[in-house]
Chains A and B, each alone.
Chain A
C-alpha cells in the first residue's frame, strides 16, 4: 500500500512544489514589557513540499514541530520568512484573501477529544466549513456531509449524533471529514494518531493513505512515533530546537542517518530482533531552552559527535565527555529559577544551593586521569563559580574548550545523490563525517 503511494507520488513530484518555506521563524513573545525574550519555537527553517507527497516532521516534544505546522496554515503569525503556497506568500495575506486561501489548507488535530465541539451534532461540525465559505446550497451541503461521512468510513445516519457517542478513532474520522470538507490541497496532520489505541492507529493511517490517493492530497505529517513516520512518509524532516537538522527520503534516512541528531533519534527505535547487535546512542541532559538557544549549532550542547578543538583532539573520550557534562551543568544552573532569597544570598557572598561546585567536580573528574593542561582550566572555571560568577565560568570554558560547533551555525549540506540535506559542521571537508565517527560515549 505505502509502496504504491510512494511510486505514484514520485510521478507527481516531478511536477511542482506546492509549499515552499524560506527562512521561516515563529517566535512567541509573552508581551513582557521589561524583559522581552521570546520563545524561538521555529528558528529559521527552509524546505519545500512537493504536490502529492507526504512530508514527515519528527522531533522530540517541544522542538517546534506543531508550531511549524500551525504557522504553515496561518494559525500562528510568522515572525520572519515566507511560506510560498503555489507561489503566493501566505504570511502576507489578510482579510478576504486569507479566508479564501484557507480553503486550500486544513489541519487534522492531535486530540480528537478536544478538536470537536461536543455541543454540536456531527453533521453541524462537518458542515461548518462549508457554511463559512458559502459552499453551494444548504441542501447540497448536507449531501456533501453525508458523502464525507461515507468517505471517512462512518454512516450517513451519524449526522444527528453527538461527538460524545463516538470512540476516539471515530472522532478522529469526524475531524478528518471536517478537514476534507472544503477539498483542500494541503493538509497538516498534527500527530493524528498519537492519542489513539494502537489497533485504531493503523486504521486511521490507512484511511489517510487512501484519501491521499483518492483526492491527490499533500500531507505534512507531524509525529514523534518514528515507525508511523517510516510507514506513511515519502520524505522526513528531523527537527531539533526550532531547526531542521536533516531532510531527505524516508527509507534512505532510516537506513543511513547522516546527521548526529538523526543518528541518536533513530537509534532509539527498539530493535525487534533481540540478538541484533545495535549501538544505542543515549543523549544526556535535556534540550536547551528555546528562549536562549546555543549560539552555534542548536545540537551542540548534547551532541555525542561534537568537533573538538585541535589541541584537545587527543584527550581521552571519557575526559572529554566529563568536560562537556561540566559545561552542561553550568548551563543548566543558569536556567534554574532562583528565588529572591537565593539571589540575596548570592549577592552577600553566602552559601547557596548553587555553590557546591567542588562536589560536582569530584563526581565528574574524580575517577579520571586529568592532565594538568585540562585541570588548570577546570580550576579557573570552578574559582569563578565559587565567586558566584557563573557567567564568567561559562565564557571561560567556551573559549577554552569551544569549537566551530559552539561558534558557528552550520549550514545545510547536501549529503546524498537524492538531495538529502543535513545540518552539521562535520560535513565540511576538514572533519570526519558523522556516520564514520564513533560517538564519544560509545568508545
Chain B
C-alpha cells in the first residue's frame, strides 16, 4: 500500500513488495529445487565454451552409479550402496521423475500463488480453459505420456544405464571391470564387452528386457544386435526426435501464424499468393519430397549439424507449414471480421499490433492443437526416414533406426529391438494427439467430444511419412 496512493496501479514487482510472503515462500522452494540440479546447468553452460565444469548434482550418475561388478561371492562393488545395478538404476530413474514432477507441481503452485495474491482480475477467460483441461481425462492421459517423453529426452544422459559416449560413440576408449571365470578381476573394453552382449535372435546370443549381460551390466530394454544398450539408445533417440519435432513445429507454426494473420488482415492479393504457394507445397507428395530434399542436401554444411537433425527439422518445417496454415486460416478470417478489429482501425492502431493483440490470441489455441497433433506426424516421419536409412545419420541414435535394425529379429527371442521403439512411437504419437484433443476442448468447449475434421487432416498430413 505504501508504494503508490492507488494500490490498483502498481506493477507486479510493486505488488510483490507490498505482500512479499507468498512470493518469497514460493521462490525459496524454486531455488531449492534449482540448487539440486544447478550442477547440470553449470555443466551445460560451461560446456558451451569448452570442457564442462563438473559439480555434484543430485540426479547424476556419479552420485548414484549403477555400473559395477559382482564378486564371485555375489556382492556388488562400485554400485550405489552396493545395490544391484538394476536397483541402483531404478532409484535414479525414479528420482529423476520425482524431481520433474515436483518441479512441475511447484510451477503450477507458482501460478496459483500469482492468481490468488497478485493478480487484479478475479477471473480471466484462461481460468475457464484450465478448469476444463482439469476435467479432461483423455487429454490428461496425453499430457502424462508427453511429460514422461519430454523428461526422458531432457534427462537422457542421467537416465540411461550407461552413456552414449561409452557404449555407442567410443566404445573402445572405455573399459569395464568384471570377474572372469577364474575368479580374477579382469578388465575389458566396452566394445569388446558389447560383442559378448549381442542380441542376435538366438537364445544363447540374446540380452533381453531387464536382463544382465555376462559382464554384469544391466540392460532395461535389452541390447541392440551390436550389443549396445538399448535404453541408452532410446533415451538419446528421444532427444533427437524431440529436438527435430519441436524445432520444425515451432518454425512451421510461426510461419503459419504469420501468414494466417497477414492474409486475414489484408486479404486480396496477399491471400491469393499465400494460397497458391501453400497449396503448391501441399500438393507435393510429402514423403517423397522430404526424401528428395534430404538426399540432395546431404552433402551441404547444414547436413553436418546435429547429424542431419537440423536439416530434417528445416525440411519438415518448410513442407509442413501449409498444413498448419490451412488449419488456422479459417479462424483467422473469422476473427478478422470481428468489430473490435474495425474499432482498432478506427482509432489508428498499427496493423502489426492489431494482429498481435486482437487476432493472434484467438488463433494461438488452434495452432497449439494442430501443432501437438502434427508433432506426432513429424516424429513418425523422422523415424520413417531413419528406417529407410535416410535422415539422422548413424551413430546418433534415432528410434526409426532401431526398428530397422531389429526387423529381421521380430520373430525371434530378440523381438524387443523393433518392438519397444515401435510401441513407444505409437504411444508418444497417440499422446500428442490426445493432448491436442484436450487443448482443443479446453479452448473451444463447443467442439467437445466430436472428432473434428482437424484431427483427420492432421492424421492425413502426418501419415505422409
Contacts and interface: CB of A to CB of B under 8 A. Distances in A.
B210 to A, nearest CB: 50
B125 A114 contact: no
A150 interface: no
Contact of B339 (A111, A133, A159, A161): A111
A161 B9 contact: no
B450 interface: no
Contacts of A128: 344, 347, 349
B137 interface: no
A162 B338 contact: no
B343 interface: yes
A162 B124 contact: yes
Interface in B259-311: 268
B9 A160 contact: no
Interface string B400-420: 000000000000000000000
Interface residues of B, number: 25
Contact of B340 (A31, A115, A132, A139): A115
Contacts of A164: 125
A139 B339 contact: no
B383 to A, nearest CB: 38
Given A73-B346, A132-B348, A119 B125 contact: yes
B49 interface: no
B13 to A, nearest CB: 15
B362 interface: yes
A129 B347 CA distance: 6
A133 B349 CA distance: 9
Nearest to A105: B346
A370 interface: no
Nearest to B8: A159
Contact of B346 (A106, A121, A165): A106
A109 interface: yes
B362 A132 contact: no
B270 to A, nearest CB: 12
Contacts of A139: 9
Given A99-B348, A128-B347, A133-B347, A162 B342 contact: no
A361 interface: no
A196 B460 CA distance: 45
Nearest to A139: B9
A108 B236 CA distance: 58
Interface string A51-84: 0000000000000000000100101000000000
B339 A160 contact: no
Interface string B322-353: 00000000000000001110111111111000
Contacts of A133: 347-348
A165 B122 CA distance: 11
A330 interface: no
Given A114-B340, A119-B361, A75 B348 contact: no
Contacts of B349: 128, 132
A117 B284 CA distance: 39
B340 A117 contact: yes
A157 B342 CA distance: 27
Interface string B357-380: 110011000000000000000000
B423 interface: no
- Which of B8, B120, B122, B347: most chain A CB closer than 10 A? B347
A98 interface: yes
Interface string A158-173: 0111101100000000
Interface in A94-141: 98-99, 102-103, 106-107, 109-111, 114-121, 128-129, 132-133, 139
Nearest to B119: A160
A132 B343 CA distance: 12
A259 B15 CA distance: 65
A116 B340 contact: yes
Nearest to B9: A142
Nearest to A74: B346
A129 to B, nearest CB: 4
Contacts of A99: 348
B120 A178 contact: no
Nearest to A188: B346
Interface in B1-16: 8-9
Nearest to B335: A117
Given A114-B338, A115-B339, A178-B343, A161 B121 contact: yes
Contacts of A181: 347
A367 B358 CA distance: 62
Contacts of A103: 347-348
B347 to A, nearest CB: 4
A326 to B, nearest CB: 40
Given A73-B346, A128-B347, A159-B8, A121 B121 contact: yes
A118 B343 CA distance: 14
B294 to A, nearest CB: 40
Nearest to B272: A31
A133 B346 CA distance: 12
Nearest to A122: B121
A148 interface: no
B430 to A, nearest CB: 31
A114 B123 contact: no
A233 B465 CA distance: 66
Nearest to A98: B348
Contact of A160 (B8, B348, B350, B358): B8
A70 B341 CA distance: 13
A182 interface: yes
B125 A132 contact: no
A51 to B, nearest CB: 21
- Which of B9, B123, B340, B357: most chain A CB closer than 10 A? B340
Contacts of B122: 160-161
Contact of A107 (B346, B357, B358): B346
Contact of A117 (B345, B347, B348, B358): B358
Contacts of A160: 8, 120-122
Interface string A364-401: 00000000000000000000000000000000000000
A118 to B, nearest CB: 6
Contacts of B340: 114-117
A79 to B, nearest CB: 16
Interface of A: 31, 70, 73, 75, 98-99, 102-103, 106-107, 109-111, 114-121, 128-129, 132-133, 139, 142, 157, 159-162, 164-165, 175, 178, 181-182
Given A114-B340, A182-B347, 5 more contacts: A75-B345, A115-B338, A160-B120, A161-B122, A162-B123
Interface of B: 8-9, 120-125, 268, 338-340, 342-350, 357-358, 361-362
Top 10 A-B residue pairs of the complex, sorted by shortest distance between their CB atoms = A160-B120, A99-B348, A129-B347, A115-B339, A102-B348, A109-B339, A114-B339, A160-B121, A117-B340, A119-B361
